[in-house]
Amino acid sequence: MAEWDVVVVGAGLAGSTAALFSARHGRSTLVVDAGLVPGGQMFNITRIEDFPGFPQGVAGYDLCPMLQEQAAAAGAEFRAGTVEALTATETGWSVTGLDEPVEARAAIVATGSTPRRLGIPGEERLLGHGISHCASCDGPIYRGRAVAVIGGGDSALLETLELVDHVASITVFVRDRALRGQHTYASRVEAAEKVTLAFDTVVEEILGEDAVTGVRTRSVATGETADVEAAAVFPYIGSEPQTALLAPHVALDPDGHVPTDVWMRTEVPGLLVAGEVRAGSAAQAVTVSGDGATAAIAADRYLATSAWAPVETSVAG
């Protein structure tokens, strides 16, 4: 059975940064991820504009592999595999689901999130047949055609800007009366000639049999419905934290996130979380990386002293 100082579950920005700092502190560090896609969902972003040190922006498929390479050079080991369970032991944590059991004295869970589903008719049937969560991957397929984006936050705006270079027109459906994303992104979307912003509008159904043909919408103000043609739909209405591994060990907040103290420590000694799985995460590339670094430093201090006194956390809504 392999034994490590620290096991990191998840190879996204938070997990890879945690691995980098853990290894640099001299801790034997194993990173486990099902696909080992560097950076997770960030890998597909064509240009990250708000990550420090890149005034012209940086592609996720450049930044994320560089970070993973940096962590590996510091001594962290990356291993592909699906973690089926995380179990507390007398000396730390046991990871099962890999080719061989893995034990570590501390565990950092940085499993990130997945796009939240709309939960409307047509979504399950047409997922992958015109419904996509990756504009850079699938935008070119719809060159010269009309598409729809659902959402008004950073992700929706970034993907809208990505689609502008490929499609004929974009209708952005926003439940609220204004865009919620960063001003820099919002102003560019508002100025784009190809973009129509439909505020106070809810998408109630994805239309089409074998492929997306449009959406059925409802006005929040009047209740009036309308069918809008679209060859593809790109939903970005938030994300769901991937906390199934943690649920047996810690209490989750009403949204499924893990409460921590400022050092990313949970209520359980030796168990830390980083990135979008934690309660209060700003869910930005730079902040999840900061979480990873903080968690690794906290893990190192715990291994050096066995001290674990996180502040009281709460799961109240």
Residue 276: strand, helix, or coil: helix
> Which residues contact residue 189 at a Cβ distance below 8 angstroms, ignoring those fewer than 6 apart?
157, 160, 161, 172, 179, 195, 197
Model confidence, pTM = 0.83
Helix 154-164 to helix 183-191 angle (10° resolution) is 40
Last residue of a domain, one of 235, 253, 280: 235
Q: What integer pLDDT is reported at residue 314 of this predicted model? A: 57
Sheet holding 233-235, edge to edge: 195-198, 169-173, 146-150, 233-235
Task: Note whether residue 218 is domain-resident.
Answer: yes
Q: What integer pLDDT is reported at residue 85 of this predicted model? A: 92
Question: What is the maximum span of the chain, computed from C-alpha positions, in angstroms?
Answer: 63
Q: What integer pLDDT is reported at residue 60 of this predicted model? A: 81
The helix (run of H) or strand (run of E) holding residue 79 is strand 77-80
Amino acid present at 246: L
Give me the number of domains the chain comprises.
2
57 and 167 housed in the same domain: no
Q: What integer pLDDT is reported at residue 138 of this predicted model? A: 87
96 and 189 housed in the same domain: no
What 8-state DSSP symbol labels residue 140? G
201 and 227 housed in the same domain: yes
Tokens found for residue 301: 């201090």
Q: What integer pLDDT is reported at residue 38 of this predicted model? A: 59
> Which residues contact residue 24 at a Cβ distance below 8 angstroms, ignoring those fewer than 6 apart?
74, 75
Q: What integer pLDDT is reported at residue 39 of this predicted model? A: 60
Task: Note whether residue 314 is domain-resident.
Answer: no
Q: What integer pLDDT is reported at residue 311 of this predicted model? A: 57
99 and 247 housed in the same domain: yes
CATH number at residue 260: 3.50.50.60
128 and 267 housed in the same domain: no
Task: Note whether residue 312 is domain-resident.
Answer: no
Q: What integer pLDDT is reported at residue 259 of this predicted model? A: 95
Q: What integer pLDDT is reported at residue 1 of this predicted model? A: 62
Give the C-alpha separation, 18 to 6, whole Å: 10
List the pLDDT tens digit at each of the 317 positions of the chain.
Answer: 678 999 999 999 999 999 999 999 999 999 999 876 656 677 767 778 778 999 988 888 888 899 999 999 999 999 988 899 999 999 999 999 888 889 999 999 999 988 889 999 999 999 989 999 888 888 999 999 999 999 999 989 999 999 999 999 999 999 999 999 999 999 999 999 999 999 999 999 999 999 999 999 999 999 999 999 999 999 999 889 999 999 999 999 999 999 999 999 999 999 999 999 999 998 888 999 999 999 999 999 999 998 887 655 555 55
Exposure string for 192-217, b = 16+ CB within 10 A, e = fewer: bebbebbbebbbebbbbeeebbbbbb
Task: Note whether residue 317 is domain-resident.
Answer: no
79 and 121 housed in the same domain: no
Tokens found for residue 193: 């000639």
Q: How many residues does the chain have?
A: 317
Beta strands 113-115; 239-241: pairing state: antiparallel
What 8-state DSSP symbol labels residue 9? E
What 8-state DSSP symbol labels residue 112? -
Q: What integer pLDDT is reported at residue 263 of this predicted model? A: 96
223 and 249 housed in the same domain: no
State which residues form the domain around 171.
Answer: 117-235
194 and 298 housed in the same domain: no
Provide the strand spans (E) within 119-161. 146-150
99 and 130 housed in the same domain: no
Last residue of a domain, one of 189, 206, 235: 235
Last residue of a domain, one of 209, 235, 261: 235
Task: Note whether residue 279 is domain-resident.
Answer: yes
167 and 193 housed in the same domain: yes
